[in-house]
Chain A
């Protein structure tokens, strides 16, 4: 009993950081509708800056001053990010901004590496709060008690600010109705900047305040990202009390989980989230999202047409050129192109549901990695032939997509995205923790192609056949009645349903089809590398897919493929340099600002302006 209570206290103390960071994310999303992927990076910066400040500011006063100053410093960094990176692209299509925030992640990673080095930093202990107290006989760190006391204070101050002050009322107005802010005569740009300051500051505070418990390291940004998304979703987007309740729920359950079912730790919060969303679709304290509230920003998509003779000729020419690559004898070029084609198929499959279906999946890596693992497991445990494993992989991935899709399809918008993320993490943690079956962190190795495919060039042609074949199949389906029904469901659910289209069923089928194609890409991948590791199922992999789809152009058919090829090529060049993340991050942000319609969309516009391609519309 007393142990249970002590664990409860530990959970409550852990909730402090989670709440601080998540409430910042929630505020930013609520007001600006930006899904800020770089929020974990703000948190990490808070820890590093707080650490440095604590080295120079002594004593108890110094400690708490450092925490506050770290928060302010990160808040200012947030302001810089908002003004330089996000402000130019508010008018870009929905969710496009998350690509830019991904660029920010990359930049901050290298800046932190450069400034603080690669070693983990052990956080200093809080002066005056170093000991323990005994509560019902159990030792409880004093610092934990401080955290438990501080969090409700922060919650109350935020709540007071939001409900009682003029700024807060504006923030709420903006959260509920964005048009209204303009009507109130408020400069929306500065409101957004202010909210970014506050949100980033909260993340920074969270990072600094956890130093005595956790220290600072370079993996903190991604490590907390999934958790804070989960907290915001469970609590309800934009709700502060919700964020607090969810942070407590997750942290406390986590402490108990670690003690009593240690295998569950990684999965637990996602299970909780899935359960909450099944029961309370908009989170514990969330408001119902009015359909179309986030509306499509920017111009509507253009009609699509299958490639004309010129387009076909160009594609055929490109395929012909690709087929010539092995003749050059360069192993490197073949391996690079194999990687590009595999990744392009993965991106094209994501584009299919994201672009055509309007369903934003944050967890598409589950089907790519899933396909790779299905093949690898079949080979490892059943000694299956490569051919059989290869054929079954897409079906395995599709089966996963059918089941996960069925669950996620009950929600829309950001909640759908978060559910896909949750299930992807679930699969990742299963693979990661089930050592005996999946090899865990060590992955599965020795997964080579059949003898007749063993050889760089042969496998290269094999990849071309299935990779490009898959991409062309996805493209063809886009022009088929099914593809049209998918776009119809996205454009106007109401009209589609009123003319006999079962929109959810269409979207579910599309989700499964995209899963199968991602699984095919995964199968191509695993036999080209000979191994697979849990990294192929990670959030970072899913984000990679999202980034290239948005970079290439969501509202264009070839966006996914072009984005994937560009990113793979650029990465190949940049990774030879030391600070390649920084360069890539800057490059992504520059592209995002210069080409808000994605690479293909912007090229298309440019072509139109120069009169090279026929105008598709007489506007």
Chain B
């Protein structure tokens, strides 16, 4: 199975530069996701890989072979679209058979392989139905079967689940992952849904404005974001400007502008330049006002409270600015209450602030 490589891809629509020097590698049989906000260039990247959009410069390689100028119909990649893009005039069977017929596969074999694939995606019963008459979930299965049946070297997905309801999304993503592993297909998957992305990917690429911010395993992206952008993206909501004051007790000693002291685990390396500490709302402990003088303590007062269904979320006014903190169901604090926040040392992530 092949490895996909993007080398210094620049791409634009007219004069509008969308991708800048984009490098990406999807290893043999891996499932890699492109995650990023709307308009950051995820679809554009996929279109360059598929050959629908010609890159201004840079290269697309599959197993070292140059695909940059190869026409899209001769790449042999499967592409699954957000809108399904089924052929409206064909029934389910003919939709799935389309790619094989283009390849002049013998009639009998087309029948065998299509029926087999319909069985795999659980659509055998709908074989003769017109594609227009299917539900969203069924359409997406047809689209998946249609892309898989040609045994593609590479499978590309552009937000394939975003038109489905929440329950079906979860079901389908498990299925996509199962099929990808069953057929061991190198996959590039675009989404802006974090949970979806983390749950099915071997590796995740976080994109921002046409450049890659971080390429890593989902667990690392979640716990060790590499930039403030990624941190914000994966749910870090509190950021402090910090100065490094050396090490003690095996921990980094940090101090904020107002003198508040913090600690962070030493497994993190200190980035050069300005230093930013990031903490998730659920990592901060919230208690009644009581100071012990330990590191990581911040005094504040509740400015705003929202109910999340499981616990409350508070906006807390502090000398370090407004912080977002999640609290338990029991004994909620009321607006105006004075409180003490504690940031546990091992929950503080240190980032360089460009």
Query: Do A and B form a real pair?
Result: no
**Chain B interface (Cβ within 8 Å of chain A)?**
none
**Chain A interface (Cβ within 8 Å of chain B)?**
none
